[in-house]
Chain A
Amino acid sequence: MSVKQGLLALLAEKPMYGARLRAEFEARTGGTWPLNVGQVYTTLARLERDGLVKAAGAADDEGRISYRLTEAGRREVAQWWLSPVDRDSAPRDELAIKLALAVTVPDVDVRRVVQTQRTATLRHLQDLTRLKQHAGADIAWLLVLENLIFSAEAEVRWLDHVEAMLAREASEPRRPTMDASVASDDIKLGRAAR
């Protein structure tokens, strides 16, 4: 998800100027992804350069310019709604990397690392749940919250899984398996086959 697509989606509804776009974006995503107004204007400038938006008229009394979608911009939005979100290009998960390192670097108390994270994630989940408790009937906000709740929940379940795996490993060390290069080849093949 990029700011670019978010702004285009909003402009498909009606022309808006930068500050208004920012307010709309934040309102509709429950303030989950705060944008700064500079980010909005640089994105608008890029979109204009690429021919996806253009000024909807002259500046108003306060010098604000509204932007609207071009035909190419409209096509881009339509395309975006119908494309699945590409998980492979999402930023790599720092926590997974951290734990992968923790189990390989000597003298790291992995159970402690897992528990520290679990407590923090649960705290986050408590905050989200409190927000949900008072969210009323705002369906857009609720679905954003539920998305965050599902992610946090999945993270806790994954941490439980990691802990159980480590406990098993400690009680019955695994037999040496294939070497690492074979393993990574397998993974590559698996991905290519998808």
Chain B
Amino acid sequence: MSGELILRLEDVTRVHGEEATAVRALAGVTMDVYAGELVAVMGPSGSGKSTLLNLAGGLDAPTGGRVVLAGRSVGDLKGDALARLRRRRVGFVFQDFNLIPSLTAIENVALPLELDGLRVREARRMARAALELVSVAELADRYPDKMSGGQQQRVAIARALVGDRRLVLADEPTGALDSHTGEEVLRVLRERCDAGAAGLLVTHEARHAAWADRVIFLRDGIIVDSTGSSAAAETLLDAAVV
């Protein structure tokens, strides 16, 4: 495990609305995600899971506390700078795949790189490498509607981790898949994390959460329990024992 800190949430609060009608979606969440780690978040609906994911990916801003993404405090970044950080460092995987239907697999994966100003040739080369890592290189020229759900989700994972992107935020990535295909997708996600990516996975399925190194339980906007401490803490403990 490379152990580099990829994502840090420091006492993060997110309140929607004002005073009397204010709803606290998150009420002081602190957590770290390191490179090489897959962390799952479970909790009943309304517990704050999606809010957590949106904040982690810089799609939403906390009303309190700090989100640090790849060493940058998201709150300090404005407009373009934030969009650039997101484009370069974070990828999302959704339940419904969210590939662009008019683009082939490789074009979908290359898109964030091209938006970032990379030459098409270079972007395609990196996209092909990303597709190979999730074992769907042979589908490079296929359009999403000519792929199965499992194949589309692999392409989405490739897009999430193309180039320098190291953090994949997955929101119920197996929700639209049968159990066998869902498990295959989890295996791919697990492999990418074992190879050095960082993953944050929101799921309501215990069977899928179990692929994670740590499972965090969220309720009413706070972390109520976890199946383990963060990788860094364990590493420190190992170091102390040795």
Contacts and interface: CB of A to CB of B under 8 A. Distances in A.
A is bound by B: yes
Contact of B206 (A116, A153, A164): A153
Interface string A97-119: 00000000000000000011011
Interface string A152-186: 11001100100110000000000000000000000
B178 interface: no
Contacts of B1: none
Contacts of A152: 206, 210
B130 interface: no
Given A133-B187, A160-B44, A163-B44, A119 B210 contact: no
A156 B217 contact: no
A170 to B, nearest CB: 13
A122 B225 CA distance: 11
Given A119-B226, A160-B44, A129 B206 contact: no
Nearest to B226: A119
A190 B199 CA distance: 48
A33 to B, nearest CB: 22
Contacts of B206: 121-122, 125, 152-153, 156-157
B207 A122 contact: no
Contacts of A19: none
A119 B225 contact: yes
Interface residues of B, number: 18
B209 interface: yes
B217 A115 contact: yes
B225 A126 contact: no
B190 interface: yes
B35 interface: no
A119 B190 CA distance: 20
Interface string B205-228: 111011110010100000011111
Contact of B227 (A126, A133, A157): A126
Contacts of A126: 210-212, 215, 227
A133 B193 CA distance: 14
Given A129-B211, A153-B206, A119 B227 contact: yes
Contact of B210 (A115, A118, A129, A160): A129
Given A125-B206, A133-B187, A153-B207, A115 B225 contact: yes
Interface string B41-77: 0101000000000000000000000000000000000
A166 to B, nearest CB: 12
A23 B84 CA distance: 59
B122 to A, nearest CB: 34
Interface string B163-205: 0000000000000000000000001001000000000000001
A122 B210 contact: yes
Contacts of A153: 205-207
Contacts of B228: 123
B191 to A, nearest CB: 9
A128 interface: yes
B190 A128 contact: no
20 contacts: A115-B217, A119-B215, A119-B217, A119-B225, A119-B226, A122-B42, A122-B206, A122-B210, A125-B206, A125-B207, A125-B209, A125-B210, A126-B210, A126-B212, A126-B215, A149-B207, A152-B206, A152-B210, A153-B207, A156-B206
Interface of B: 42, 44, 187, 190, 205-207, 209-212, 215, 217, 224-228
Interface of A: 115-116, 118-119, 121-123, 125-126, 128-129, 133, 149, 152-153, 156-157, 160, 163-164
Given A126-B210, A153-B206, 18 more contacts: A115-B225, A118-B225, A119-B215, A119-B217, A122-B42, A122-B206, A122-B227, A123-B228, A125-B207, A126-B211, A126-B215, A126-B227, A129-B210, A133-B211, A149-B207, A152-B210, A157-B206, A160-B44
Closest 3 CB pairs of A and B: A156-B206, A125-B210, A129-B210
